[in-house]
Structure 1
């Protein structure tokens, strides 16, 4: 599984790179703030949301601390998706939140 740190992902955003981020936290967690532009799909909904994802696109997966995003990445990789896990989750995020 590919991994990226919160600082590395923040750098990509600051550099203007087009990245697609999926936040797999629960609604109550996302209400405290998420990475600007991130799509919210709770981890339990990932298996039922594959029709919303494009196998030709790369996704960065984020959760609170890194555990759920890692599990979501494993599932998505097994389904043929190109994903990277953000290690440390939102606990490690020092950038802006929306």
Structure 2
């Protein structure tokens, strides 16, 4: 499985497609702008929403669920990369996070 640090994903700017596999309640607490949001439990049913023509950077709270999603997507032929440490590490590194605001 491929991994990438939050800083390296952030450095890619808007070119980086980030798939957030956290639950809606988690997104309401803290999120990143511009993500594709599909909870891990819905990923199989919503696989058609995941682009196959570019790298998909997968994010969760701390890296566990995103690792599962990355493995699943890779098995489906998607170029998927796990964001190490999830949004927790993203925030710890001082990268931009939106607190609250999504219902």
TM-score normalized by structure 1? 0.90
Residues 11-50 of structure 1: matches in 2 within 5 Å?
Answer: 11-13=11-13, 17-50=14-47
Q: Deviations over 1:48-98 (max 9, x none)?
A: 111112222210000000000000000111111111100000110131123
Alignment pair present for 1:79 and 2:71? no
The answer for the alignment partner of 2:8 in structure 1 is 8
TM-score normalized by structure 2? 0.86
The count of corresponding residues between Structure 1 and Structure 2 is: 95
Instruction: Give the 4+ runs in structure 1 shifted more than 2 A.
Output: none
| Alpha-carbon distance in structure 2 between the residues aligned to 1:84 and 1:56 | 14
Structure 1: runs of 5 or more not aligned: none
Q: Deviations over 1:23-54 (max 9, x none)?
A: 00011111112111111100011101111122
How large is the Cα RMSD of the aligned pairs? 1.1
Structure 2: runs of 5 or more not aligned: 99-103
